[in-house]
Structure 1
Amino acid sequence: MSAASADPVYLSGFGNQHQTEAIEGALPRGQNSPQRAPYGLYAEQMSGTAFTEPRTVNRRSWLYRIRPSAAHPPFQRVGNRTFHSAPLPGVADPNRLRWDPMPRNGSGVDFLDSVYTVAANGDVLQRQGIAIHLYCATASMSKRYFGNADGELLIVPQDGDILLHTEFGRLLVAPGQIAVVPRSVRFRVEITDSVAAGYICENYGSAFTLPELGPLGANALAHARHFRYPVAAYEDIEDRVEVVQKFGGNLWSAEYDHSPLDVVAWHGSHAPYLYDLADFNAFGTVGYDHPDPSLYTVLTSPSDTPGQANVDFVAFPPRWMVPEHTFRPPHFHRNVMTEFMGLVRGVHDSKAEGFVPGGASLHNMWAAHGPDRETFENASAAELVPQKLEGSLPFMFETRWPLIVTDHAFEAPHRQRDYDASWAGLRRHFQPLS
């Protein structure tokens, strides 16, 4: 194996043409693909976008590896377990849904085997839509690797750090941070404690990118310089290992005689990355009115309709609330966009109880929702002094299409059957003029 340091090392800058080598001189200079790569390595290009897409969105990387990715036996279908893809059978449910945290798995369940699909939309074969999963790993992936040809994976840890060993290097991801693994990049997940749990957005559509800032200017929201990419760190393992690939909505497995994480050097922009949500520069109103949640967009996957994202990743970090003459929590609303919400820690400012870390809620498009009775009454009478929201980290996957819920998530014992009761106590306050 490589003699990499214990702690991962990072490069910074979102989408940059990064270059890194685990051995000095392994990265060719002067030519992208010389006749013979240094150290007897193989040169291989990984293209995350079509060759002719505009330069600003084109993503590709050159990898210099011990063996080419083509050196593998046939893949065979294996069971999908609770890992499902769109299109899902069933109907879109207009009802509001909420779940308690998923029960913890017993010992020996690795990241891949723990993936539990909650809902999905679109179609993996059409490269549009998303799937939303939970994971709860109680073991590290040993001699086992995974790559997803259907979509990139945005991973949101909620409980426990995970160490992602990828073809491009290593990312240590803690609760409060996120990681994105692009399409087809192979990796394994090592857990650093007895359990690691969290959320996954599998994005079938265009790759996540930073949202345009418009009148907010250059210094708002997520800064490109805070995104971190791994420095090359390779595995030189000659042993039997399993490589699982997700393709066309199904899982396929092959037995390799070497580790697929054998990239000694790489350069390009199609690579996994890490972002700490503590670096997000939250904006808000300093006058009146509650801002729309789009103001907290960290990453977006645009669709073919401007303004209607395939999916937005929105986070609500600690921030000041100062608006006057304003109901400060999220107001009652019905949206054309579908909202799936999770909670890393703390509480959500529109829910008094019932929505806890590790839990989730789904409000499909046009589902009416908003603060529960207790929150409404408290916020309506609160003194409007400056207030800092601290200690919480809700987030949202917002998508233009309704989400179909899997049967196992809908029938799960941890789904709250009484979620509608959150609004049952809202009383009539109407007082017509006499």
Structure 2
Amino acid sequence: MPAPMKEREPATDPTKIFHYTDLQRKKPTRENDPYTYMHGWNNRHQSEVIPGTLPVAQNNPQEVRFGLYTEGITYSAFAAPRAHNYSTYMYRVRPAAAHNGYKKIESKAHIQNCFLSLNPEVETLPEQAEWGPFPLPEDSDKIDFVDGLHTLGGSGDPNLREGMALYVYAINASMEKRAFCNTDGDFLICAQQGNLDVQTEFGMIFLQPGEICVIQRGVRFRIALGPGVEKARGYITEVWGSMWELPDLGPLGGHSLANPRDFLYPVAHIDEDLSGDWAVVNKNNGKYNCLEQDHSPFDLVAWHGNVVPYKYDLTKFASQNATSIDHTDPSVNTVLTAKSRDPNTPLADFLWFGPRWDVASNTFRLPYFHRNSASEFLACLYGEGLGRSDDFQPGGGSFEGGHTPHGGFSEAYVDEMRIQESEPRKILENQMTIMVESSRTFLWTEYARVGCGTTNTRGTDPKVWDTLPDRFSNNPEAKALLKRVKEDKKLMEERSKVYFDDGALKELLNSKTNGC
């Protein structure tokens, strides 16, 4: 008789699932997400707090309903091709232009955006580097997102609209009556510890560990700690002169990896109290300045367009892998990519390494040793991540520069090399690791090299390689065959002389004549 069917029970912990579908949700969000979203990558969405607010058949009517003001935000050039033209029309209570001017502010953040070789404050890390969990603020300090943002490294300069930067944020307070606006580039925010309530001009986004959120250049937002959260930490990848896009799928077809329908966009939302003093902190060319105003920046009653923040749950990633032999390249784990000016090389890729099946036959399944041309920054969001040592913990990171030799050294590398029948198995369970990969050479800030206090730049301890000794040099079969190779090579050299040496050819002809 067939084995009795085992009913599948819904999972409840998103950090312990194989895929989002294990939760058996009928909604596209986790159970504790309080907000409603719209679906669909790169659509021209529209939303309104009060139905009937959006103008019909035009963008800039003579009179907007309720006395609202029309305001536009552009992301691309006005005349950019339609497929690359980005803008949003907003209908708000007060214009953003109504403010009291800009001024400089002091901050506890460590912001560095000039990653050019002439900047003495940034340096390369020639060896592998590893960071323990980046420090969280002390309870005695009130650190919100503005003060808790710390640049780790990057390449290029936002003034040139060229390059990227890596950050870690570590906070223990919500932003109170102040908003943040990054005029340099696009933020890809990846939560590692603690839920975040992200209020944007276009609506609310709830961000949890294992989810990412992209906020475009010029969009205002406010980050608050989620309910019950005392401290939060995560990673940010900023791109300059580029934007985050879905990678092309090529022969994979129209579906897989990060599917377009799984990207969620906020619905219009306004503050209940739209009055009061507010500060809007701008990051411009890597420097903070601030403008003050007597009204909330979160007063969009309606909007329509395609410059809108969005979020994506990494547990929804539809992974692909080798189903017969060998490895697929890690590029198959790309969630989002940002193009460079070189059409064949991305500026940055954001990759996912989560639970998946490993089924390749007759194959060394572990990551083979490699010297990739890209710079690679890895971070573990939760669980036992895909790092090279036990020091690779959630909230920390590791780095390998371009063409730096790296790979694993565990006992599994010895076991996997034995001829055996390999059974299908699940790997990387109960954890999630991300990687930011770039074609650029990274330069690192003082905070990353020293200031954070969790840096290890010594590279891998040479003793770990004792588990992978030289098995070739004293192999009797290899030694015998090498001797034979040398003998055969010498014989071939003698025989090939007749093609290039007139004397050897004359001897050959004489031997043929004498042999007749």
State the TM-score, normalized to the length of structure 1: 0.95
Matched, 1:260 2:300: no
1:351 Cα deviation from its structure 2 partner = 3.1
2:123 matched residue in structure 1: 91
Contact 2:128/2:458, CA 8 A, preserved across alignment: no
2:422 matched residue in structure 1: 384
Letter in 1 for 2:130: R
1:350 Cα deviation from its structure 2 partner = 5.7
State the TM-score, normalized to the length of structure 2: 0.80
For each residue in 1:411-432, what CA deviation from the matched residue of structure 2 results, as whole angstroms up to 9, or x when unmatched?
Answer: 1421124432175434222233
Letter in 2 for 1:135: Y
Contact 1:350/1:370, CA 8 A, preserved across alignment: no
* Structure 1, 352-361 or 211-220: larger mean CA deviation: 352-361
Cα distance in 2 between the residues matched to 1:211 and 1:57: 15
Residues 68-107 of structure 1 correspond to what in structure 2 (within 5 A)? 68-79=95-106, 81-87=109-115, 89=119, 90-107=122-139
1:370 matched residue in structure 2: 407
Q: 2:165 aligns with which of 121, 124, 131?
A: 131
Q: 2:69 aligns with which of 33, 42, 48?
A: 42
1:243 Cα deviation from its structure 2 partner = 0.9
Residues 272-421 of structure 1 correspond to what in structure 2 (within 5 A)? 272-349=309-386, 351-381=388-418, 384-389=422-427, 390-411=429-450, 412-421=452-461
Residues 119-198 of structure 1 correspond to what in structure 2 (within 5 A)? 119-192=153-226, 193-198=229-234
Cα distance in 2 between the residues matched to 1:100 and 1:21: 45
Cα distance in 2 between the residues matched to 1:113 and 1:210: 31
Matched, 1:433 2:479: yes
Q: How many positions carry a matched residue from both structures? A: 429
Cα distance in 2 between the residues matched to 1:358 and 1:289: 32
Cα gap change, 1:378 to 1:106, in 2 (>3 Å): farther
Cα distance in 1 between the residues matched to 2:366 and 2:86: 39
SS at match of 1:395: strand
Q: 2:86 aligns with which of 59, 68, 84?
A: 59
Contact 1:352/1:374, CA 8 A, preserved across alignment: no
Q: Could you say which structure has the larger radius of gyration?
A: 2
Letter in 1 for 2:65: P
> Larger % of helix: which?
2
2:239 matched residue in structure 1: 203
Cα distance in 2 between the residues matched to 1:79 and 1:329: 48
Cα distance in 1 between the residues matched to 2:225 and 2:48: 26
Letter in 2 for 1:85: N
Deviant stretches of 4+, over 4 Å: none
Cα distance in 1 between the residues matched to 2:413 and 2:101: 58
Contact 2:362/2:421, CA 8 A, preserved across alignment: no
SS at match of 1:239: strand
SS at match of 2:104: strand
Cα distance in 2 between the residues matched to 1:116 and 1:54: 36
Contact 1:205/1:301, CA 8 A, preserved across alignment: no
Cα distance in 2 between the residues matched to 1:392 and 1:378: 23
Alignment RMSD (CA, Å)? 1.7
1:129 Cα deviation from its structure 2 partner = 1.2
1:218 matched residue in structure 2: 254
Contact 2:338/2:346, CA 8 A, preserved across alignment: yes
Matched, 1:28 2:55: yes
Cα distance in 1 between the residues matched to 2:336 and 2:88: 21
* Structure 1, 104-113 or 169-178: larger mean CA deviation: 104-113
Unaligned ranges ≥5, structure 1:
1-5
Contact 2:151/2:165, CA 8 A, preserved across alignment: yes
Unaligned ranges ≥5, structure 2:
1-32, 481-516
1:383 Cα deviation from its structure 2 partner = 5.7
Cα distance in 2 between the residues matched to 1:384 and 1:295: 22
